[in-house]
Amino acid sequence: MGEEGHWQSGQNKVLEFQLQNVNDLGPSAARQVSSSHAADHTSTSSGDQQSNGSAHQAGSRNFEFVLVTDNESRRQVRRHAMRQYMHQRRLDSIARLGTARVPGGGWSTRSSLDFQPSASSSSTGGVKDDAQEDLTVKSEKASSPSSDEDKKTPEMPKSSSRLLIPKLHKVKREDASLRPATKPRASNPLVSPGEGVVRDPFSCYPIATSQADHELIQHFVVTYPTMMYKFADSIANNPMMEIFRQIALHDGLPFQAMLAIASKHRAGVEGKAESVQSLTHKMRALRFMNERIQGDATGQHDGTIYAVATMAVIEKWSKDASIERMHFRGLSSMIRNRGGMHGMRLTSPFLEKVLYWVDFSCAPKAIISTSLPWTGTIPDTTPPLDFLDPNLHLAVPHDATTPEDAESLCAQFRACEDFLRFFRRLRELEGLCLNSPYTVVPETFPRRKKHFRPGTQLYSILTMLPDYDHGIRDIRFIDEYTCMSCLFFLTFALYDCYLNSHNLDEYLDWLSLEVRNLNPFTNPSITSILWLFLNNGGYPKNRPGDAGDRCWIVSRMVRIAKRLEWKRHGTIWDRLRQVLIDFIVTQQECALGSDEIDAETHVARARKRLSYQTHSTDYFWNEVQMREDILELNLPSLTSTSTSIQDNNGLVHT
């Protein structure tokens, strides 16, 4: 008892002497000395109750009591504090990058208390950046569930710097039995889920997914299509669900691309252009895609093509047309290797619809050619449509000054002439139907229904686009492109009816019924209408379609129309849309394709014939100006290259 009392009195004198000289170091050093004394007193009072494991843990701390009496001792304390501070900074950086996870009993994350800066690190000064980093770690931990290890560990004061070493040794002891396992690599998305414990109870996902990733899946299937495209009517009509089922669940690359686009949209919903989560999933998707392309450069796997298309959509939202253009160039090459869109229709019909959907909404500056590849041949061929002329060529003299994109200019010229020829041909067919013989009959019941005129549901959907929150800022133009695509689908159906002496009323009856089935109480979204066309290539689902010709020509026409979007202050774009609407309204008002009409329809036909006689040949627009706007060339310079254009038939003679 005498020796113990003497030892305690001596220890108290040392502590008092340390506290007297600690004023120069500030309150942080005082906390360090007090915590050191408290730990030493606890270890002394426990006596024989300590086990061999606790003795090994205490011995691993290697504490050194320093008597702060002169400048050298103060420098020693400062060096110790700086080493602890730098060590803690490295641990915080590793925690933010997500590479500090060790595979022990499933994926788990340590509590943010494990990575709080120590008391000694606070003595170096309160830097604002460090405080923000600590707040970032706390916020990330608040959104992710804690592991079982963190639940069992009692909460310790944040200012204690001794929590770090015991916890690290504890993790090492747990991982000693897992040394034969391979070490996880952060660059591999297959073994690097997001924060939280793995959530895949049925092992059906192609890559390891955490709770945060599972929330992104829900966002992709529910929130993203609801906000961006208003697919809130029926889950059966939600293409995102089919993408998840048919493509993402079967391959790790499209699954990672799905997480990337979902996290990008989620960041937009939160009012941010990017987030740590969106950038992380985008980086993993790009890295995984580059690794896949090394073994599948031709795009033989559907998942590879879908991933490239998804990355193009992400760049479209980011307003980066150059990167989007690069992705579309690679996408076109893969489609050509698969036999073009004609071959995609035979091998992967659902992926073909997704690709057309992506193409309809792509940015004009990202378009690399006049159309998607139709076949796998070079040069490419076109579908057998009567208004397409594959033999039309533009004579460009080849010399030292000839630009490298001369072939591209020829393809643009053919597409431009096909575009103008379609409208001339459609007007001719409309005139033939107006002048065809018919019989005026008394009004009968039930009266003929006009599904496309002002006041009808289909007319309001295609002429009045609502403005709503898409989740991504400044992205409303995709609704404009989608509406233009739907109008072209209707116009090509009208063209086919005129050409084959059919009545468009049956087609509109089918379309109106499908629209009411989508939502009988309110107007469905314009994208929902587009998918009604895509589901069977623009044909009614109970009738046989074609080999994908109609979808391909709509894609080509929309690409040409996008060149006119901002020409002449947007007036040509508006005029083009109105011309398409007028074609369909004329058929409905005049009952073109019917042999028996009533008196009201007879008056409408007479009025339309009169308008044909009073208007000039430039009924829609000035075709010379249209060529200049589409080709972005001055017509005199075009004709100076020994090329003459005849406006009456659109042929070129060289």
Segment 281-302 shows an average pLDDT of 92
Segment 519-536 shows an average pLDDT of 91
Which stretch, 234-238, 404-408, 421-425, 436-440, has highest mean pLDDT? 421-425
At 52, is the secondary structure helix, strand, or coil?
A: helix
Task: Show the DSSP H helices in 519-570 as ranges.
Answer: 526-534, 549-562
Q: How confident is the model at residue 21 (pLDDT cuts 50, 70, 90)?
A: very low
The phi and psi torsions of 527 (rounded to 5 degrees) equal -70, -35
For residue range 562-590, what is the model confidence (pLDDT) as tens digits? 999 888 888 899 999 999 999 999 999 99
Q: How confident is the model at residue 306 (pLDDT cuts 50, 70, 90)?
A: very high
Which stretch, 51-55, 150-154, 343-347, has highest mean pLDDT? 343-347
d(CA 202, CA 197): 15
Structure-model confidence comparison of residues 221 and 94, the more confident one: 221
Which stretch, 323-327, 389-393, 619-623, has highest mean pLDDT? 323-327
Segment 504-530 shows an average pLDDT of 92
Query: Is the pLDDT reported for residue 357 higher than 80?
Result: yes
d(CA 70, CA 74): 6
In this prediction the pTM is 0.69
- Whole-number pLDDT of residue 66: 62
- The region that residue 474 occupies, defined by phi over 0 for left and psi between -120 and 50 for alpha, beta otherwise, is left
Question: What's the first-to-final CA gap in the chain, in angstroms?
Answer: 118
Tokens 């969106």 correspond to 278
Check if the beta carbon of residue 430 is closer than 8 Å to that of residue 504: no
Structure-model confidence comparison of residues 117 and 347, the more confident one: 347
Segment 183-188 shows an average pLDDT of 42
Task: Show the DSSP H helices in 100-199 as ranges.
Answer: 119-122, 128-142, 148-152, 164-175
Closest CA to 630 of 552, 550, 558, 553: 558
d(CA 350, CA 239): 9
Tell me the pLDDT of the chain averaged across its residues: 76
Query: Is the pLDDT reported for residue 164 higher than 50?
Result: no
For residue range 46-73, what is the model confidence (pLDDT) as tens digits? 444 444 444 444 444 555 666 677 888 8
For residue range 35-50, what is the model confidence (pLDDT) as tens digits? 444 444 444 444 444 4
Instruction: List the single range of 2-16, 93-107, 252-266, 504-518 with lowest mean pLDDT.
Output: 2-16
Query: Is the pLDDT reported for residue 260 higher than 90?
Result: yes
Written as six digits, the tokens of 476 are: 């409303």
For residue range 391-402, what is the model confidence (pLDDT) as tens digits? 877 665 555 454
Give residue limits of the domains in the chain: 203-381, 417-631
- Whole-number pLDDT of residue 550: 96
Query: Is the pLDDT reported for residue 120 higher than 70?
Result: no
Query: Is the pLDDT reported for residue 150 higher than 80?
Result: no
- Whole-number pLDDT of residue 29: 46
Segment 138-164 shows an average pLDDT of 43
Helix-, strand-, coil-residue percentages of the chain, each rounded to 5 = 60, 0, 35
